[in-house]
Amino acid sequence: MMSTSPTPASAAESHARIVVVEDERTIARTISDRLSAEGWTVAIAHDGPSGVATIENFKPDAVVLDVMLPGFDGLEVCRRVRGLGEFGVLMLTARDEESDMLVGLGVGADDYMTKPFSMRELVARLKALVRRVRRNASTPEANAPSKIELGDLVIDRDSRRVTRGGNEAHLTPTEYDLLVCLALAPGTVLTREQLLEDVWDWVDATGTRTVDSHVKALRRKLGSDLVRTVHGVGYALEVPEGELA
Ligand code: CA
């Protein structure tokens, strides 16, 4: 099961490398100082093009990425760096609605925070993100099923490939983790808080919007019938129709 890892937090996210791409220099400096105080190594970029170059050279564990940037924006940065390695992207947006919009576009960030945000929350979410990136980089647990087949939905956990009806869906790491979490308990209603804890490794009232946004992305990529909303409770994966093997 995808229970929360018992790994000591201090060890799991130690020596993280973070790139901060933010054109507002005061905010960039404040974030950088706070992360440096955690013992992390931080690089700062102030526009889109240098953001991409910094991410490419610095090999970060995670990127804090502002949406509105000079040169080109955070969406374009996200598109250009996605194939460059295993790192998480936490996007800073101006409004909650902007986060929903970005998920709808399939930009591929792993988490979103709306400005203004608390520095403490940013650190907590980054720690969770780094933990997840490092967990995903290692092989799945030995006792986990390597393949999940539900109707016409197939999840290959060794290659992290997902197909529905034979068509491959290109999911972000977070979308993939969310799908696996739901697929391990098909038909079972999981609350947003449970999903946050299992997939994102943190729970906060504001985070439930993040879950909603990623469910939207899963529906868009895999079909609207796959994930059922249980109003006021949470989400459940419906076993999809499909030829049975
Ligand atoms: Ca900005």
Output the 3-class SS for the chain.
CCCCCCCCHHHHCCCCEEEEECCCHHHHHHHHHHHHHCCCEEEEECCHHHHHHHHHHHCCCEEEEECCCCCCCHHHHHHHHHHHCCCEEEEEECCHHHHHHHHHCCCCCCEEEECCCCHHHHHHHHHHHHHHHHHHHCCCCCCCCCEEEECCEEEECCCCEEEECCEEECCCHHHHHHHHHHHCCCCCCEEHHHHHHHHHCCCCHHHHHHHHHHHHHHHHHHCCCCEEEECCCEEEECCCCCCCC
- CA 28 / ligand 1 centre spacing (Å): 10
- CA 230 / ligand 1 centre spacing (Å): 36
Residue 81, phi then psi, degrees to nearest 5:
-100, -5
- CA 76 / ligand 1 centre spacing (Å): 14
Q: What is the C-alpha separation between 199 and 132, in angstroms, rounded?
A: 8
Exposed (0-12), middle (13-18) or buried (19+): which is 240, by Cβ within 10 Å?
Answer: middle
What does the domain layout of the chain look like in residue ranges? 17-137, 147-237
- CA 163 / ligand 1 centre spacing (Å): 37
According to DSSP, the β-strands at 153-156 and 147-150 are antiparallel
- CA 108 / ligand 1 centre spacing (Å): 19
17-137: CATH topology is Rossmann fold (3.40.50)
Contact 207, 196 (CB under 8 A): yes
- CA 62 / ligand 1 centre spacing (Å): 18
More confident of the two residues 131 and 57:
57
147-237: CATH topology is Arc Repressor Mutant, subunit A (1.10.10)
Cα dist from 46 to 59, 74, 83, 148, whole Å:
17, 11, 21, 43
* Global confidence as pTM: 0.72
pLDDT at position 156, please? 93
- CA 101 / ligand 1 centre spacing (Å): 17
Span 2-27, average pLDDT: 73
- CA 37 / ligand 1 centre spacing (Å): 24
- CA 128 / ligand 1 centre spacing (Å): 24
Q: What is the C-alpha separation between 30 and 138, in angstroms, rounded?
A: 32
- CA 164 / ligand 1 centre spacing (Å): 38
Of 7-21, 82-96, 146-160, 219-233, give the lowest mean pLDDT range.
Answer: 7-21
pLDDT at position 83, please? 78
pLDDT beyond 60 at 4: no
How many other CB atoms sit within 10 Å of the CB of residue 12? 17
For the segment 89-114, what is each residue's pLDDT rounded down to a tens digit?
A: 999 988 877 776 776 666 778 888 88
- CA 212 / ligand 1 centre spacing (Å): 25
